[in-house]
Amino acid sequence: MRALIVASAALLTACSAEPGATPTKVEGALQPVSITLPAETAALPATPAGELVTQRCTACHSADMIARQPPLTAEKWQATVTKMREAYHAPITPADEPAIVAALVTLQGAPPPR
Amino acid sequence: MLPRSPDRREALTLLGLGGAGLATGAAAQQVDLGFAGGTRQLSGDWPQKGSMIVLRERAPLLETPLSAMDGQVFTPNDRFFVRWHYQDIPTAVDPATFRLRVGGAVRRPVALSLADVHKLPRVEIAAVNQCSGNSRALFSPRVPGAQWGDGAIGNALWSGVRLRDVLDLAGVAPGAANVRVSGLDRPPPGAPWFAKSLSVDHARDGEVMIALAMNGAPLPMLNGYPIRLIVPGWYSTYWVKALDRIEVLTGEYDNYWMTKAYKIPATPDAGVQPGAKDFPTVPINRMTPRAFFTSVDRATKVVANDPFYVRGLAMGGASAVARVDLSMDAGRSWHAARLAPDQGKYGFRLWEATIGGLPRGGYRLWARCTNADGQTQSMDAIWNPGGYMRSQIASVAVTAA
């Protein structure tokens, strides 16, 4: 029963926090807005592999996106790198790809042989 | 410990140290999302945002802790998840000079000021905004992409104007088939512009709208200030942020973002065998039912033989939440949870239950949502290579002691 009362109270709070949204109120609130994004903190390890990936990939992706990928095979990384070149026109050539793929695999630790 | 080459865990450790090193004074809080590599920093450093789980710094991917949604149907604006594709995102907007351009197969192209948009009839709708890849990190086997937990989702009361009314200001020309929408974000050189399309019929259905406000306040910049598209019941990829261009097309929109990205298997549940390739696909579209636990963690402890209270949120997807059921025997029997008042069929619905006292031991509690169309969640997980549309029944471990 107490639980029900708690829930009802929460719902009432949610309701009372709702607009008010009269058009004038919202319209009046649309002011010039500018934001500053926080400084980037993520970095890859200062290893040859980390440095290569930093150089070739982080113009578009912060390092955390790369480091947080699940363990991927070289084949999967190859597909991703090729997609970056073909679909997104990343400034890399097919000849650059083996080194990039190898570095990505190294960064994750070598996966078991398939 | 044996020496070994740098691995992923070490890379993450380095990242963590980097983060903590720069966050002077602020205690860097960590959260564990419950999958391998799921340790994340919580940060309050993002503009107009409270504490968010940082998945990616550039372009920002910020996840909402499920606990931040507990007990409320509407997700606070400052906790609403953030997802941008490209790093060149709008960081400054002057509403006085902002224009929404409507062109293409129309009778007369228009460039609307926000004041022009405000003159149209106002509508409001509660609707869940969920990333197509929400819960991707829970896929097994894992797939590449943004490794979201369950928090790339939120519900807001959106107020604004119908897309149909905006289109009618320009006058859709005969032969129009699709409507392309895009915003102020820009791709890197050579990359495809982020733009999506809806059929003209969908765009004109009276539900698809342009939001001027979110929960009664202007949109945070990171959620699409000054205006964004709202596509109730559909995944977030269509909800273009900082919407400034609408182009009516007489044919299909054949860019990368419609024909290659955000494609799902053309199977009833969007699932295929792990590793499958070369199957027919369709653009991702309507969402499916889901129920989440918000009051308890993945592993919760309760007092033995004492009733305990649990609650969460449910969404029906393309139709309203009809019921949420709980099971403690892996789905052999289900018991209805209480539902709080309906705030709109596309929005979250709060569910709650009191579970009778459990003898000492370990248990698992499942929560399943069924929508008004009879669509229900499955105990089985789907798999697809994009990591889209996960909607397996959620569960939590309960230890009574």
Mutation for A interface: B58, B221, B306, most A CBs within 10 A: B58
Q: What is the pLDDT of residue A30?
A: 76
- Residues in chain B within 8 Å Cβ distance of A82: none
* Cis bond before residue A91 (omega within 30° of 0): no
- Does residue A88 belong to any structural domain of this protein? yes
Cα–Cα distance measured from residue B73 to residue B294, given in angstroms and rounded to the nearest whole number: 11
Q: Does B13 contact chain A (CB < 8 Å)? A: no
- Does residue B312 belong to any structural domain of this protein? yes
- Does residue A9 belong to any structural domain of this protein? no
pLDDT band at A23 (very low <50, low <70, confident <90, very high): very low
Residues B42 and B190 in one domain: yes
Q: What is the pLDDT of residue A109?
A: 83
Summarize the confidence of residues B268-279 as an average pLDDT: 95
A74 has a pLDDT exceeding 50: yes
Residues B252 and B146 in one domain: yes
Residues B207 and B145 in one domain: yes
A69 has a pLDDT exceeding 50: yes
pLDDT digits (tens, 9 = 90+) for B49-103: 999 999 999 999 999 999 999 999 999 999 999 999 999 999 999 999 999 999 9
Residues B326 and B234 in one domain: no
DSSP three-state, residue A104:
helix
Q: Does B118 contact A17 at a Cβ distance shorter than 8 Å?
A: no
Q: Which residues contact B387 (CB under 8 A, 6 or more apart)?
A: B133, B136, B139, B143, B144, B145
- Does residue B295 belong to any structural domain of this protein? yes
Q: What is the pLDDT of residue B42?
A: 96
Identify the CATH number of the domain in which residue A78 sits. Answer: 1.10.760.10
A15 has a pLDDT exceeding 70: no
Do B65 and B33 form a contact (C-beta atoms < 8 A)?
no
Q: What is the pLDDT of residue B28?
A: 65
Identify the CATH number of the domain in which residue B235 sits. Answer: 3.90.420.10
Q: What is the pLDDT of residue A31?
A: 87
B332 has a pLDDT exceeding 90: yes
Q: Does A84 contact chain B (CB < 8 Å)? A: no
B112 has a pLDDT exceeding 80: yes
Q: What is the pLDDT of residue B9?
A: 34
Q: What is the pLDDT of residue B284?
A: 98
How does the average pLDDT of chain B come out, rounded?
93
- Does residue B190 belong to any structural domain of this protein? yes
Do B263 and B282 form a contact (C-beta atoms < 8 A)?
yes
Summarize the confidence of residues B247-272 as an average pLDDT: 97
* Cis bond before residue B141 (omega within 30° of 0): yes
- Does residue B274 belong to any structural domain of this protein? no
Q: Does B144 contact A60 at a Cβ distance shorter than 8 Å?
A: no
Instruction: Please state the domain count of chain B.
Output: 2
- Does residue A65 belong to any structural domain of this protein? yes
Q: What is the pLDDT of residue A110?
A: 53
- Which residue segment(s) compose the domain that A99 sits in? 48-108
Size of interface A-B (CB pairs under 8 A): 197
- Does residue A31 belong to any structural domain of this protein? no
Task: Tell me which residues of chain B, numbers 110 to 149, contact chain A at a CB-CB cutoff of 8 Å.
Answer: 114-115, 118, 122, 124, 137, 142-144, 146-147
- Does residue B394 belong to any structural domain of this protein? yes
Q: Does A35 contact B91 at a Cβ distance shorter than 8 Å?
A: yes
A12 has a pLDDT exceeding 60: no
Identify the CATH number of the domain in which residue B376 sits. Answer: 2.60.40.650
Residues B307 and B195 in one domain: no
Q: Does B27 contact chain A (CB < 8 Å)? A: no
pLDDT digits (tens, 9 = 90+) for B204-217: 999 999 999 999 99
A96 has a pLDDT exceeding 70: yes
Which residue from B299, B311, B378 is spatially nearest to B340, judged by alpha carbons?
A: B311
Token pair 């000492």 is found at B360
Q: Does A95 contact chain B (CB < 8 Å)? A: no
Summarize the confidence of residues B11-18 as an average pLDDT: 35
B21 has a pLDDT exceeding 60: no
Residues B209 and B88 in one domain: yes
- Does residue A32 belong to any structural domain of this protein? no
Partner-chain residue, chosen from B56, B91, B354, that has the shortest CB–CB distance to A64: B56
Residues B321 and B383 in one domain: yes
Residues B113 and B223 in one domain: yes
Q: What is the pLDDT of residue A102?
A: 97
- Does residue B145 belong to any structural domain of this protein? yes
Cα–Cα distance measured from residue B188 to residue B395, given in angstroms and rounded to the nearest whole number: 41
Residues B200 and B319 in one domain: no
- Please provide the DSSP assignment of B77-123 as one string: GGG--EE-SSSB---EE-TTT--EEEEESBSS-EEE-HHHHHTSPEE
Residues B203 and B326 in one domain: no
How many C-alpha atoms does A14 have within 13 Å on its Cβ side?
A: 25
The packing angle between helices A48-57 and A97-108, to 10°, is 120
Task: Say how many C-beta atoms besides its own lie within 10 A of residue B362's C-beta.
Answer: 11
A16 has a pLDDT exceeding 80: no
- Quote the ipTM score: 0.88
Mutation for A interface: B9, B15, B294, most A CBs within 10 A: B15
Q: What is the pLDDT of residue B25?
A: 39
DSSP three-state, residue B128:
strand
- Does residue A38 belong to any structural domain of this protein? no
Q: What is the pLDDT of residue B146?
A: 98
Among A25-39, B182-196, B293-307, B317-331, name the one with the lowest average pLDDT.
Answer: A25-39
A56 has a pLDDT exceeding 60: yes
Residues B56 and B200 in one domain: yes
Residues B239 and B374 in one domain: no
- Which residue segment(s) compose the domain that B332 sits in? 290-400
Instruction: Please state the domain count of chain A.
Output: 1
Q: Which residue of A has its CA nearest to B88?
A: A60
B134 has a pLDDT exceeding 50: yes
